[in-house]
Chain A
Amino acid sequence: MSSYDDWNKLDDDEDVELEDAGYLEGNKDVILFCIDCSPSMQELYDDERYEDVQTCRLFTALEAAMQIQKKKVIVGPNDSVGIMLFNTTRRNEATAGQGAEIKKGTYVYQPIATIDAPKVQELMRLLDAVRDKPKLLSQEFPPLTESRVPMGDVFTSCNWVMRDGASKTAVKRVFLITDEDDPHPGPTHDRLAKSAKTTLEDLLQAGVTVEPFFISSEDKSFDPSKFYSFVLSPTNVIEDAESGGAVLPESISIARVEDLLSQMRFHEVPKRAFFSTRLQLAEGFVIGVKGYTPVTERKKGKHEYFYDLGDRMVVAKSRSIMVDDMSHAYADKSEILSGMTLGKASMDEEKEDAEQAVGVARVTQANMRPFYTQDEINSFRTMGLEPMIKLLGFKDISELAYEDNVKHSTFIYPDEMTYSGSKRTFTALLRTMVRKKKIGIALGLARRNSTPTFYAMLPQLPKTDESGWDDPPGIHLIPLPFADDIRAARVERAYQANSELEKMARAWIDKITVRQGGYPPDTYPNPSLAYHNAQLEAAAFREEFDAESFEDLSKPKYDMIHKRAGQLMRAWKEALLVDETANTVTETAGTKRKADVTVNEAEIRSMNDYGTLAKLRVDQLKDGCQVRVFLDAQLGNPRCSQALRNAHEFCKSKSLPSSGKKADLMERVGEWLEAHP
């Protein structure tokens, strides 16, 4: 594991607070893609991305489904996905399990099952074949040309497919993809709409939610009011009581077909609250809120242990038990008590000790209990508080320092379902805080297994920024560090730049400042995670992983930086090199060495030529090496190679033992000089 992961490593023996990611990823999620196959969905047009390639909406929808599968399989390896098509004449075999008896005009292409490599590959193969031969799709899934399947039948089929394939406890969703805003025009409209509504309700009763993705285009914009707002809205709105005042439930997406995938990405993780608790504004003045985590670090999947049964591999389940190290007896869970370490008894001491048979142990009278029960421990951890967020008062927003941070924040939104009046109270609070430029200070125990934490409550009004990011209304709870978490600065003084240098720095900084917006998270996918997942996928597909084609998007855009600011950066560097303060010889123990360092390259070179390099002191060598590299870098000497930068790093390190390393240094300097005649 990388050093980053070690930073936050918790004691193995600890009751680790529920990892934030766990609540999102511990659940099983089932998605049934329900894709329209009508002629309009299959109508071929030229692909925007490739020349001479034709595509159709159905193709894009299937491709998006495939991408989502690939993505989901990595985030939640236990998640299930299925694909059902409608408005096609293709029928399932009567005997084929799921979907055997579903309504006419609907077809189960992939029954709901845990995502696995062969199935994703099957879909990929189909898509590849279609890309070569676009007509293939309409042969594979012949569209219903003269009529459309009643939407009611579609929902009924979804229901059956879900019932057969999805586990009871999973979060079940149907992603409905269609470009037809009025599937049943004419006299049957009302009747079919009503039946669609009824069957949709059945679906909802079975615990399945429908998330529609409507395809809109320039020629034909999708008008949900024709059919779908009647069918979807009432139920969906109730289903999610939090939706605001929009006409349609917020989960509806209407977009161009090209944006289908990105729209689906938003819905990839079902919206789920991290906690639901009370916000106490004052004694007796309490509202309900739900907490979400809009920012959580996503990590690599956990590795598992597998056992080879010969014909297949099975996952080994792990169970952690507590044992007495001396007697190797299992401890009964209900009897285990907690306390602090007794210290480690060193082996030889133990031998002499009369208590050797006891090992690390504590002896008391039989009726005494020198350790705590789990309940007692919990009450210490929580300080006896119940889960709640308790407002302590308000402060100016300027009191919230950037550096008072230890972990990601959570986001709270009023919950009318636990306390009526929560929304109006929350809204009034939010508006007032924003208007007065205030933050709240709160004490909170977000969940029963958390520890008390102080939070800054940062209000946020809805706003759409330039990057298209929607800031929803609500309050961010930023956990504040405790005194215990803050470390003092170890550096108290440093040389400062004059205004000339500052101006020159400002010149190049301005050139590489983005004009609009702030930090753009979307621009930076996690490269190491992507690298890992790409390899995982290649291995699952039994393909070669092509490291060459991997691009680290978090790297700076060098071309852009140099194009815009290169000259200015160079000018700043040249000014820095001759700057008076910058060339101050520091009044530290190293002063003398500094002075000595003025051995220039020519001197070193000649010493090397005459074999007198060894006459230099180690620190001169170190610094000589270092200064060279630095000057080279600063002056833009392209000869400053990677190897030398490494050498430099090496030299720079003050922890370097000065003895025995001189030869290395000499060698290094010698090598460099040889390589750069």
Chain B
Amino acid sequence: MPAERAGFTVTMFLVDVSPSMGKIREVEVPDGANGESMTVEMTNLEYALQFVKLKVQEMIYHGRKTEQCGLILFGTDDTDNTVNEKNGGYEHVSEYIPILQPDVRTLAKISGIEPSETTGDAIDALIVGIETQQEYLERKPSWTRKIVLITDGESPIEIEDWEATVSKMNALKISLTVVGVDFDDDELPFHEQGKSDIKRTNESFYHTFTSKLERGVVGNAEFALQELARPEIKQVKSQPSVFVLRVGDVESRAEEAIEIYVKTYKYTAKASLPSIKRFARRVKGDDEDESRMQLDDDEDKVIWTQLARRTEYFIDRGDGEEDSEGDAEDERKGDALEKVEKEELVRGFKYGASYVPCPDDTFPKLPTLKGIEICGFFKAKHFKRWQEMGEVYYVFGDTDKAMQQVALSSLVKAMAKSEEKFAIARWVKKDGGEPKVGVMWPMTIEGQMDYLMWVQMPFADDIRNFPFGSLDKLVSKTNNTVTSHPYLPTKEQESAMDRFVDEMDLMNAGEKNEEGEREPWFDVRLSYNPALHRMKQALLHAAVVDDISKNPLPPPHPELTKYFDPPLRVLKRARDAIEECKDLFKVREVPAKVTRARKDGHVRARDEDEDMLLLDKTAKRPPTSSQMPTTQRAFASQHAGPSPKAKRKPEARSGDDSSATESETEPESDAEDLLVNKGKGAHLPTPTRSPEPDRGRASGRIIGNTYPLDDFRQNIARGDVVTKAVEDLGDIIKEVVAKPFASRRTEEMLQCMRVLRKVALEEDEIDAWNAFLRQLHEVCLESKPGNKEFWTHVQGEGRTISLISKSEASKFGGTSDVTDAYAAEFIHQQ
């Protein structure tokens, strides 16, 4: 299908509001939270109007001035239309929304449509629609005309002379879509039980009618709604840019230098996700204006307003010198920040601790000359595909000039010849623009055309040479190459992998082509961006329904998830190979280390006599002095039994995401170590020895049960695991107080809490503290066995141990959702 011109369209919606449209139907909505199937009741009219709303919403989404629509009702009690005004007749047809670019109020108006007391004639409405559209487009003959007729087909139609209407519509190139409520559809499949005669007649009439149209279709409303969820690519036409492709010095050696005029177009351009706006309930003030009170007569209405983003600036007058050291700054956050106006500020850059004013946004720019310059060529086989950095461009010879085309073609053909070559090309998009360096490779279509494609490549600044160890050369301490080691695959493992790769091959796993041969599975050109289309679907849905909770978003269209799993036939074929691999490779999830590996490095000295691999320390290290307490701790926690509280932050590692090593909530610093610590689960890496039996220990903790406070202080001193330490200590306190004989440790635990609260306050772990304290309250008072006595002790500490309130938090630059009053009250709760 040739790309339609985007926009420049008027769509007329003709909506049947005859009494029959008020019939109630049950509509299935996605399963509720607990998997129960849910339905909602709505009238046929409301149901069918969803289609109109989605269509209108899409127009709002595109935001094009030239995408307009109008809405005409038929079956209205009165009459208000342009044909009736001129010629009379055409009764019970009313223009409801004049042709305009729709916005949210259009949607609100559509929501207000209700069934009437009278029946109306669809053909009358069609003629009114054609006329209204024609009047509007009188001077815009190139616009696309669409008419959508929404009906249940239950009202009589005067079908005389319909051929004239057909020829008129064909003459005007109008496309007609009839969306029929409960129309029969073999493909869906759907056949209405007990269909009325009149509806049957009407349905067949619509089929005849549209078949005579050049652009006509009848569809079942349900099917139409489904189809609207199908991902549709927003066609964007690439805009050409004109450049000169230069080789050599055109300034001073023009007799030799080459200039070729080229046009560039984007080949890939990352489509951005639909933009989200923020909304909030408008708070009703005391001076709620009268007009609105009249507007929504009942109190139960809520006004949602679109929010705007505003940036505010704050400064810290502090006292001492400017000190951007993190700690110093955090501690001083107590000195309340002062709000300043943007106008008072000077723009500039930081040069370390120094300040460089630069009010004009940027320094003078590097003088450059627009154009693409070839710096040299290299052999294609040396190209590193992974270094490509961005979107890809077509480079065509100037489309108007044969000479330019031939010039570029000779260059391309020469590059593509036997030993293919790529060009290194520096591209400046406008005079004074920033140069980018990229490569161009030749593309030739035999007997048709030759062109280049350009992609940006990294500058020296963009490359990071991270060092990585070899994966297959292992050298022992005695400088011998090791050939067999848990890090190295065995012959057996390699051949299992060999089979796995063969069986998982996708080259002939796709659809069959015309010759009956299977094509490769997965085609970039058919892979829709699931996030983009899902978001779009969600946003459109929200615009159409009034309550997301009652009417949640239907599941994504299957097109979006078709590439989410390997094709079934491949999985079936590979089943044995997969099982073999699982058996042979024996990959196991590793429990998080209790202490950081680097801490117990010194144990190395002990097993020096072993001919051990340097890199393999962690794998073979026996329990070490610093790990010893862990075992004891583990013992202790075994006694505690599986505590439900041991599972922390379920949202972060719920379900099968046991190794989710995301650290968004953590400060990014020292990410690797945090990641390692955060995992949980089974065992030491590479089980070359028999597994250790201490499964019951609280895995993943950096703080043990035995000397929690010492552990905590040590970890806090380290600085980079504060969040984890705070979380762990809180869990330990909860565990300890829930255990028998907890009273022996009451004072210790109280001390822990004092320290924990202080750290939480200072290190901005306020939410963690507040959550902890609430849980502790629950553990002590509401769960079994509980520890009422401990809570009494906590209460004895008074307000200073309670929830951290807003005002307290703000002194340390943090935030809290707890009011002072509540914090004071909480600690006295029973």
Contacts and interface: CB of A to CB of B under 8 A. Distances in A.
Contact of A244 (B459, B469, B669): B469
Contact of A293 (B303, B368, B464, B670): B464
B414 A237 contact: no
B435 A528 contact: yes
B282 A361 contact: yes
Contacts of A269: 464
B208 interface: no
A5 B361 CA distance: 14
B507 A396 contact: yes
Interface in B638-677: 655-657, 659-662, 664, 667-672, 675-676
A201 to B, nearest CB: 5
Interface residues of B, number: 296
B399 interface: yes
A323 B248 contact: no
A2 B547 CA distance: 44
Contacts of A338: 276-279
B471 A282 contact: no
Contacts of A370: 304, 542-543, 545-548
A406 B268 contact: yes
Contacts of B356: 536, 539-540
Contacts of A303: 347-349, 358, 361-362
B385 A491 contact: no
Nearest to B397: A494
Contact of B283 (A329, A369, A517): A329
B462 A590 contact: no
Interface residues of A, number: 303
Contact of A497 (B108, B450, B470, B530): B450
B303 A238 contact: no
Interface string B393-431: 010110111110111111101110100011010100110
A204 B601 contact: yes
Interface stretch (A39-47, A138-146, A177-185, A636-644): A636-644
A296 B460 CA distance: 11
Interface in B457-504: 457-477, 479, 482, 486-490, 493-494, 496-498, 500-502, 504
B506 A441 contact: yes
A458 B270 contact: no
B387 A295 contact: yes
Contact of B522 (A285, A357, A441): A441
B505 interface: yes
B406 A524 contact: no
B684 interface: yes
B104 A114 contact: no
Contact of A168 (B240, B531, B602, B718): B718
B140 interface: no
Contact of A505 (B301, B411, B502, B505): B411
Given A322-B308, A345-B103, A489 B280 contact: no
A392 B675 contact: no
A521 B459 contact: yes
A355 B105 contact: yes
A552 interface: yes
Contact of A430 (B309, B471, B668): B471
A416 B409 CA distance: 51
A417 interface: yes
B278 A322 contact: yes
B453 A403 contact: yes
B255 A570 contact: yes
Given A205-B598, A304-B348, A340 B463 contact: no
A514 to B, nearest CB: 5
Nearest to A512: B376
A243 B469 contact: yes
A246 B481 CA distance: 10
A80 to B, nearest CB: 8
Contact of B247 (A27, A355, A569): A569
A518 B310 CA distance: 48
Contact of B414 (A414, A503, A630): A503
B656 A386 contact: yes
Given A306-B357, A392-B565, A427-B488, A418 B661 contact: yes
B238 A487 contact: yes
For B347, B538, B683, the residue with the greatest tally of chain A CB atoms inside 10 Å of its CB is B538
Given A344-B103, A497-B413, A583-B402, A427 B660 contact: no
Interface stretch (B19-27, B192-200, B284-292, B778-786): B284-292
B675 A276 contact: yes
B281 A405 contact: no
B228 interface: no
A344 B451 CA distance: 43
Interface string B525-540: 1111111111100111
B102 interface: yes
Contacts of A557: 375-376
12 contacts: A168-B326, A250-B467, A282-B578, A295-B463, A300-B362, A306-B348, A322-B307, A372-B542, A382-B531, A408-B390, A495-B405, A555-B373
Given A390-B565, A393-B567, 19 more contacts: A116-B354, A168-B327, A239-B598, A241-B615, A277-B661, A312-B321, A365-B547, A383-B531, A407-B270, A421-B486, A483-B233, A484-B271, A496-B405, A513-B379, A531-B366, A537-B351, A556-B247, A556-B373, A638-B254
